[in-house]
Structure 1
Amino acid sequence: MINDLLKEAKEFIRSCYRELNKTEQELKNRLNEINKQILSKGFYEHTAFELEYGAKVAWRNSNRCIGRLFWEHLNVIDKRNLNTEEEIIKALFEHINYATNKGRIRPTITIFSQKDPNKAVRIWNHQLVRYAGYKTEQGVLGDPLSLSFTETCINLGWEPKFGKFDVLPLVIQMNENHPKLVEIPENLLLEVSIRHPHYQWFKDLNLKWYAVPIISDMSLEIGGITYTAAPFNGWYMGTEIGARNLADELRYNMLTQIGNLMGLDVKSNISLWKDRALLELNTAVLYSYKEDGVSIVDHHTAAQQFKKFEEKEMEMERSVTGDWTWLIPPLAPATTHIFHKPYKNEIIKPNYFYQPKPY
């Protein structure tokens, strides 16, 4: 265990100090310091610049992310000193506010204390902002993906509103304490009503989505140290909302309704009604976000940005790893260069990792 930590720490520190142009003496001193810390305490603590570098490189190494061109622009907020649920909740509110930035979204990560035998911070939410899902006699109301977490929130004392787009509360846990539940203040929430540039009836569907996808249930691993709470965000690629969240049969499942309103033959696959409905739903999402001044990227631009990222990494003599099944957009994938390229789905650290649900 100690040997593994020493190995990962040394690999990370060497990479960090090399890329940040630190001197050989600085590297040597730091490695000695870390060696002593690990042998005496069983762990070590990152300096502020090591933490910032590690979080940014974890984004650079994220095989499933098409938006990695901007990895160096990640805003890293160090909140490792916080010790209570109240302080953490305040920091999460600050993250939502800072990242949202009135629609001009800033890629941001807030990092809480590292995991050790006496301390663990967990955010139970998959994303800080997410819609509830309820089982009813007529079927699922809201987001089916949130059914179990919504039930968990209700069991913890949250009062359900039974709407299609109810924002779930935050659930925070310190160590083995009882989880703390709190509503996100409305003034922090930015949501976009979905309408279409040509179809006036689209707004009557009363669809909307939130501005910022802040992933909050993954751990961040840097040099052998694990941060179990490190919520992070970029901005949306349109297809995440238009081709998945609102379109998937196991999510909001809007395609049949849109196809009918467009006057398409939804009983025949040969009419390609799903493709047409999907295209217009994605058109509506991009149009609405742009109209409201909320950052979003279309999948063609995102693919071009990823190509630029690949070129820059090649210049730095770093190989680009990737999960092809996630990198190809769910709409018109064959029109992007990504579709025609093989990627090695090798996990390189620092990185973000899924962790078991705490509920």
Structure 2
Amino acid sequence: MTGHGRSGGHPPPPGVADERDPAPVDPAVAEEFLRQVHAETDPGTTLTDRLRQVRAEIDRTGTWTQTTHELVFGARIAWRNSARCIGRLYWQSLQVRDLRHLHDPADVAQESVGHLRAATRGGKIRSTMTVFAPDAPGRPGPRIRNDQLVRYAGHRAPDGSVVGDPGQADFTDHVVGMGWPRPQPAGRFDVLPLLITGPDGRSRLFDVPPDAVHEVPLRHPEHPWFARLGLRWHSVPAISNMPLEIGGVVYPAAPFNGWYLDTEVGARNLADTDRYDLLPEIAKRLGLDTRSVRTMWRDRAMVELVRAVTYSFDADGVTMADHYSESERFLTFLAKEEAAGRRCPADWSWIVPPMSGSQTPVFHRYYDEPDPDLRPAFLEPHGLRPPAAQA
């Protein structure tokens, strides 16, 4: 891993949470989690000794150390509780890499790359989470500021346009300001460096080695011109800026991934007007009439874009779910949770695919409202530190 540029450690300005002063763990929250572990995994044993140990550790240190069994269980349940995820049927198969001893940004960067390698497996994507050092009173854990381990830069041009991913333009400006050398010439698929904040509040940049980023060149099963567009997409969607909370302990760096849904890439990342906005180009190549939305040119172009993405991932042997099959599997997950006597909150706007929604079974029903207090859980993302904290 290669570091870049400057780092910073000034206190945050008023109104910005001080990430360097984590609160002590509430013993009641820890106990509730331990009782859940016990009830779901080992109900035939006594919990008294473990509860006593944890209470004593919290009294002494303000936090507690989970066993590997407790950590893995908590990570999997956080996925099971994720109201915005349609792929929760596989929650029990999550592979957890326990790296809680690592807190230095260089180590976190190196093992974030290790996460990509472990999850990719030549295209047979494995659901994986890597858990780094937790927050503790007087000692915060590390934080990964990228929203995913792999993102493409958005380079602002003088005319106001963006080369690459407009959704990453602000982040790109930020890391360039920290010393990241913008690629020359600027490309549409330049992988951004990792921006990691250590326990001392200082942030550093680290390149992601090209051989750790598995990508799929996009082509269409029927249109040879599609391949000449030079489009591609990375294979592993590893979310990296959402803290994980288990039993009151917060792990601010816990990157995790499943695998892509076809519409996630084709109907959102590549099609949204504030992202790659490719539908006008695809429609032009298809010879569609774009003079009026009533010709449904956007719909027709989106279908062909999603077809190209799905075809390309399948042709390269890279795991990708399709929105029809995954919708059926989500209802299977829902039935299993209901049979187990558990509530299954779901955010309808995230569960229903962004294309052909009414043709999938998840469209035609209501769900329990998301519960912000449900734990274990992934918490709201932490973003960039304000500029004053990076000077």
Task: Provide the TM-score with structure 2 as the length reference.
Answer: 0.89
Q: Does 1:145 align with 2:167?
A: yes
Unaligned runs of 5+ residues in structure 2 are 1-21, 386-391
Shift of 1:356: 3.2
User: What residue is the counterpart of 2:149 in the other structure?
Assistant: 128
Q: Give the secondary-structure state (helix, strand or coil) at the position aligned to 1:115.
A: coil
Q: Deviations over 1:201-244 (max 9, x none)?
A: 11111111100000000000111110000000000001010000
User: What residue is the counterpart of 2:381 in the other structure?
Assistant: 355
Query: 1:231, 1:136 → 2: CA distance?
Result: 31
Query: 2:48, 2:366 → 1: CA distance?
Result: 39
Shift of 1:45: 1.2
Shift of 1:3: 9.5
Unaligned runs of 5+ residues in structure 1 are none
Query: 1:311, 1:146 → 2: CA distance?
Result: 38
Q: Deviations over 1:139-165 (max 9, x none)?
A: 111101101111111112111111111
- Structure number with higher relative contact order (C-alpha < 8 Å, ≥ 6 residues apart): 2
Contact in 2 for aligned 1:220/1:351 (Cα 8 Å): yes
Shift of 1:83: 3.5
Query: 2:381, 2:88 → 1: CA distance?
Result: 22
Shift in CA distance, 263/110, structure 1 to aligned 2, threshold 3 Å? same
Q: Does 1:59 align with 2:79?
A: yes
User: What residue is the counterpart of 2:121 in the other structure?
Assistant: 101
Shift of 1:174: 0.8
Q: Give the secondary-structure state (helix, strand or coil) at the position aligned to 1:209.
A: strand
User: What residue is the counterpart of 1:319 in the other structure?
Assistant: 343
Shift of 1:181: 1.2
Query: 2:172, 2:165 → 1: CA distance?
Result: 10
1:227-246 matches, within 5 Å, as 227-246=251-270
Question: Aligned letter for 1:97?
Answer: R
Task: Provide the TM-score with structure 1 as the length reference.
Answer: 0.97
Shift of 1:314: 1.8
Question: Aligned letter for 1:140?
Answer: V
For the aligned residues, what is the CA RMSD? Answer: 1.5
Using the TM superposition, name which of 245-254 and 5-14 deviates more. 5-14
Shift of 1:85: 2.2
Contact in 2 for aligned 1:2/1:39 (Cα 8 Å): no
Contact in 2 for aligned 1:247/1:253 (Cα 8 Å): yes
Q: Count residues in correspondence.
A: 358
Q: Deviations over 1:262-314 (max 9, x none)?
A: 11111112211111000000000000000011100110011011011111112
Using the TM superposition, name which of 169-178 and 267-276 deviates more. 169-178
1:1-359 matches, within 5 Å, as 5-25=26-46, 27-116=47-136, 117-138=138-159, 139-161=161-183, 162-344=186-368, 345-347=370-372, 348-359=374-385
